[in-house]
Each structure stands twice: as C-alpha cells, then as structure tokens.
A and B are shown apart, each in its own frame.
Chain A
Amino acid sequence: DTAVSQTPKYLVTQMGNDKSIKCEQNLGHDTMYWYKQDSKKFLKIMFSYNNKELIINETVPNRFSPKSPDKAHLNLHINSLELGDSAVYFCASSQDTRQGEAFFGQGTRLTVV
C-alpha cells in the first residue's frame, strides 16, 4: 500500500529518445509535483498540479511535459533526451497547494547515455 509510487525505478536510455515516468498516489491528495535532484543532491521543483490543473511550471525545457489524467496520477514525458537530463526524478503529493507535508515517491534514476 505504497502512498506515492513511481515507475520505473531505474531508466537507462540513449540520447534523443523519448521516455515517460509514471506516478500514482493513493492518498487522496489534491496536489502532485515533479522534482529533479541532480548529482549534487540539489532538489528543485519542476511542476505542480492541483486537481489536474498546472499551478507551478518552473523554467524547464519544453521537452518536459507533465500530464495529469486524473488527480491521482501525474506522469512526466521527456522528449529528445539529453545527457544533462540524467538525474533522479521525484514525484510527490500533498493535501493542498501548500507543500507542507508532501509525501515523496522513491524516485526514478534516469541515466542518459
């Protein structure tokens, strides 16, 4: 009964490919997020959705596109992958838009070769 689950846990792919990371939360939360953590452990928000509506969209290349089919799911599509996209991507959710007690998933380690 994992609260926030992401798939896959590991993803190794070649430059130029298109890939997706899926996220689901079973907490009944209204808000979901995508974060990127680089090799120096620096954690930065990318996107935030509240009830399927985009509310935070940081300066992220438009190769990254989040999609929220319903409020329990927030998937991340990445087109034309580049070496610099290699990182750990975390999905998270919270009850409201205040990211107070956000619950994080286990992360997806993306390696672009």
Chain B
Amino acid sequence: GESVGLHLPTLSVQEGDNSIINCAYSNSASDYFIWYKQESGKGPQFIIDIRSNMDKRQGQRVTVLLNKTVKHLSLQIAATQPGDSAVYFCAEGSMEYGNKLVFGAGTILRVKS
C-alpha cells in the first residue's frame, strides 16, 4: 500500500480496542488545533478540533486532549474499527500567523481484525 517505504510512526491496534495517537506541536501561540484523517488515495478529512482555551473535547467515538504545558495533543479513538485505518495528522493554527495551518508529520494507524 501507500505506507510502504514511509517512515512515519505506526500504531497497530486490534479491532475493538481504543487507540491513542499523539502529537507534539511547536507554537505555544497557536489558537486552535485540528486532527485530520487521510485514507489511502484521498485528501485529508477533518475529524475534530479544539481551541487553545480548552483541554478536552469529545466527538463521536473520538476525544482530543490538549496539554499546553508540554505542547502535546492526543487523539483517542474508542472501539477502533477497520475503517479507522489511515494516516492521522495533527495541525495547529494561529490568528497571529494569518490562520495558516501547520501540519505535523502524521501517524499511521493500522487496525487488525
């Protein structure tokens, strides 16, 4: 598949287990953070976002945690399904920098059935 030869961090989980994908960001002035999912051959798809004045936000089966002290962001996926297999990107944005999104390197999530 497309991930062959890629040297991205890879997380392998069993179907039904919970997944936690981590991201370290660089700009302490970032106003918001977004998680994207990119399936093979497709464009990134918005999953969930969180503003810098929050530390947790929940969506459907997903939770994003923000720790500004250590500039760390995580995405938790509950009851991981085969359809969750993809590359996941975190991105940070700042009004100070013209709302330009800066993407992280990406993490490959593989779900084993």
Point out residues on A near B: beta carbons under 8 Å. Answer: 4, 40-45, 48, 55-56, 58, 90, 92, 97-107
Contacts and interface: CB of A to CB of B under 8 A. Distances in A.
B43 interface: yes
Given A40-B7, A56-B100, 16 more contacts: A40-B105, A42-B103, A43-B106, A45-B100, A55-B98, A98-B99, A99-B34, A99-B91, A99-B93, A99-B99, A100-B49, A101-B49, A102-B46, A102-B101, A103-B46, A106-B41
Interface in B42-93: 42-46, 49, 87, 89, 91, 93
B110 to A, nearest CB: 15
A45 B7 CA distance: 21
A45 B98 CA distance: 12
Contacts, number: 61
Contacts of B41: 106-107
Contacts of A40: 6-8, 105
B98 A43 contact: no
Nearest to B49: A100
**Interface SS of chain A: helix, strand, loop or mixed?**
loop
Contact of A42 (B32, B34, B105): B105
Interface string B6-28: 11100000000000000000000
Contacts of B99: 97-99
Interface of B: 6-8, 32, 34, 38, 41-46, 49, 87, 89, 91, 93, 95, 98-101, 103, 105-106
A90 B93 contact: no
Contacts of B98: 55-56, 97
A104 B45 contact: yes
A107 B43 contact: yes
Contacts of A44: 103
Nearest to A44: B103
A103 B42 CA distance: 12
